[in-house]
Structures are given as structure tokens and as C-alpha cells.
Amino acid sequence: MSTAIKIKEINKSYGNLQALDDINLDIEKGEFFGLLGPNGAGKSTLIGILGGLVHKDSGKITVLGNDIILNYRETKKSLGIVPQEITFDPYFTVRETLEIHSGYFGIKNNTDKINELLAALSLKDKAEIGPRQLSGGMKRRLLIAKALVHDPEIIVLDEPTAGVDVELRNSLWEYVIQLNKEGKTIILTTHYLEEAEALCDRIAIMNKGKIVKVDSKENLINSIDKKIIKIKFADPAHELKEELIEIDFKLNDDQRQIEIETAKQDLDKILRKINDLNLDIVDIDIESAKLEDVFIKLTNSGGDDD
């Protein structure tokens, strides 16, 4: 794989606040890459520098081999960035907005791509109305369409599904996954950690302006020594306290299911102990750690992102 984005020794401060502290990161072509971190971690600042909206104090970033400062025209054509903030010119329709945005990149006739985006993002029936008439979710869709209208090689999604309904979220991910299969590089920041776990191949976790870990999703999750056993009994579990006294468990709301958290090496011992009780078990499920567990461990936070 060749490198899509190379970030080397990037620093940025706002007065006494060190927003980015010596950031080094390589993102490969064709990756679906996750950039995660709690509030104030520096993700949006890094994306702002990448897009030319924030001035770095030091360091270098190249996009497909082009320096973002020396070759800013080339890098802007290569990037499609969906920002968190929703901003539009209210005097143009949805279609006109996309036509004008195409013109910024020197594309005179972009009807086919615009029609593709309108269909993919469920905006077809809103094409001739102004942004003021759109709902919050529809405005978010238009923001995504603007970022993709010039067919960039690298797509940066900064909280793309914030405030978006489930139906759009699913259709958006279907479209983005297809773009990734076609070879587009996708960079995602999201506070929905289950999205990152489902979509991303490799993940960087940021905290307090630093990158604390970069690895494949599988390696990150496997680094947590944790198994969760969920057992549902035929009888209410609180009536089985005598039998379960030697097992540390949490009783779920339905009173028939218990949840046991254990280290991987103790899994067999716990299951043998449960089996020896000869209780009437309806269902049993074993889960591994999740990305959220890794996130909490590395950031010492509750998992809330920007």
C-alpha cells in the first residue's frame, strides 16, 4: 500500500493550550481509518490543518505526496472534508449549491455526479428547494454531498451522522462503504464507537493532543483481557442466589439473566462452575471486549467524543 496522508511532527497551540503535541501518523491509500478521542483531544484541529482552515505551528503534512501548503491546489482537489458545523448559502437550491461547489474545482458539467449524490443521500426530491427549507438531517446530507461532489480520492468525515436519523445513517454507510471498495480512502471521526468498530480497518486514538495508540481494530480489541458471559435461566436468578453465591455476577433487569465479567484465562473455570450447578439454562452468550473498552482504558474517560 502507498501512503495517502503523511503527518509528521505536527504541533499546534492556542496560547497556553497545546492542542496538538508532536503528531505523527501515516494513513494508507484505500484504508477505512478511524480517528477517535474524547472532547478536546485535538481531532478537529488536526482535520482543520489538513483542510487548510487552521495554521499549524510546526511539522509537515502531505496528501498523495503533495505538501498541503506548497501544493495546496492539488491537495484540496484530493480531499473531500465533511465538517461538524453546518453552513450554507441560503440563496441557492440544493442542486445549485452542488453545481457552484463543483465550479470551485473547475468542473463545468457535473450533472451525473450530482444526480448520483442526490440519489445516494436521499436528496432527489429536495433538489430544487433552498437549504432553509431542509431539516437538520437533510442539511447534514447536503453537507456530505458538497464534500463528495468533486469526486475526491480521500474523504474525511468529521462526525457525519451527528443528529441524523437511523435510516439515513444506514444508507450513508452503505454508500461510503461502496466508495471505499472502489478505492477511496475514508477517514472517520465519530462519537458512535460502534460505528467505528463496525467500519474501520485501523484506528488511531487521541487524547490531550497526542496519539496514544494506532493499531488494527482487531489488535486494539484483543489487547483487552475481558470476556462477558450472559446466562439466562428458566427461573428468576434472584431465587438462585444460594447456588450462585461463589460467582461474582450482575443481575439484569429481567431478573432471569446474569452477566459475568471475567478474564479470558478464567472463562473455562467459570463455565465449568456454572455447568456443575445443574441449573435450567435457557440461553448463554459470550462476548469479547469492545472498542469502547479500549477507548475508556486509553483515555480514562467515559467514552464521550466530540
Residues 24 and 172 in one domain: yes
Mean pLDDT of the chain: 88
Residues 146 and 179 in one domain: yes
For residue 299, is it within any domain? no
Per the structure, the count of domains in the chain is 2
> Which of 28-42, 130-144, 222-236 tops mean pLDDT?
28-42
Q: What is the 3-state secondary structure (H, E, C) of 75-117?
A: HHHHEEEECCCCCCCCCCCHHHHHHHHHHHCCCCCCHHHHHHH
Of 268, 271, 251, 249, the residue nearest 260 (C-alpha): 249
For residue 59, is it within any domain? yes
Residues 163 and 254 in one domain: no
Instruction: Provide the pLDDT confidence category of residue 306 given band limits of 50, 70 and 90.
Output: very low
For residue 304, is it within any domain? no
For residue 306, is it within any domain? no
CA distances, 208 to each of 5, 59, 141 (Å) = 22, 18, 31
Residues 213 and 233 in one domain: no
For residue 51, is it within any domain? yes
Instruction: Provide the pLDDT confidence category of residue 276 given band limits of 50, 70 and 90.
Output: confident
Among 19-23, 150-154, 169-173, the range scoring the smallest mean pLDDT is 169-173
Q: What is the pLDDT of residues 188-237, one digit of tens each?
A: 999 889 999 999 999 999 999 999 999 999 999 988 888 888 888 887 76
Residues 197 and 96 in one domain: yes
Residues 23 and 46 in one domain: yes
Residues 157 and 241 in one domain: no
Question: How many Cβ atoms sit within 10 Å of the Cβ of residue 22?
Answer: 14
Residues 140 and 259 in one domain: no
- Of 166, 195, 222, the residue at which a domain comes to its end is 222
Half-sphere exposure of 133 (CA within 13 A, CB side): 11
For residue 211, is it within any domain? yes
Residues 265 and 130 in one domain: no
Grid cell, residue 263, equals 478474564
State the CATH number of the domain containing residue 254: 3.30.70
Burial class, 61, CB count within 10 angstroms (exposed 0-12 / middle 13-18 / buried 19+):
buried
Please state the rounded mean pLDDT for residues 265-280.
Answer: 81
Residues 136 and 158 in one domain: yes
Residues 142 and 194 in one domain: yes
In this prediction the pTM is: 0.84
Range of the domain at 271: 227-288
- Of 197, 222, 247, the residue at which a domain comes to its end is 222
For residue 57, is it within any domain? yes
Among 125-129, 207-211, 257-261, the range scoring the smallest mean pLDDT is 257-261
What would you measure as the largest C-alpha separation in the chain, in angstroms?
Answer: 76
For residue 301, is it within any domain? no
State the CATH number of the domain containing residue 124: 3.40.50.300
**C-alpha–C-alpha distance, residues 153 and 299, integer Å:** 31
Residues 212 and 249 in one domain: no
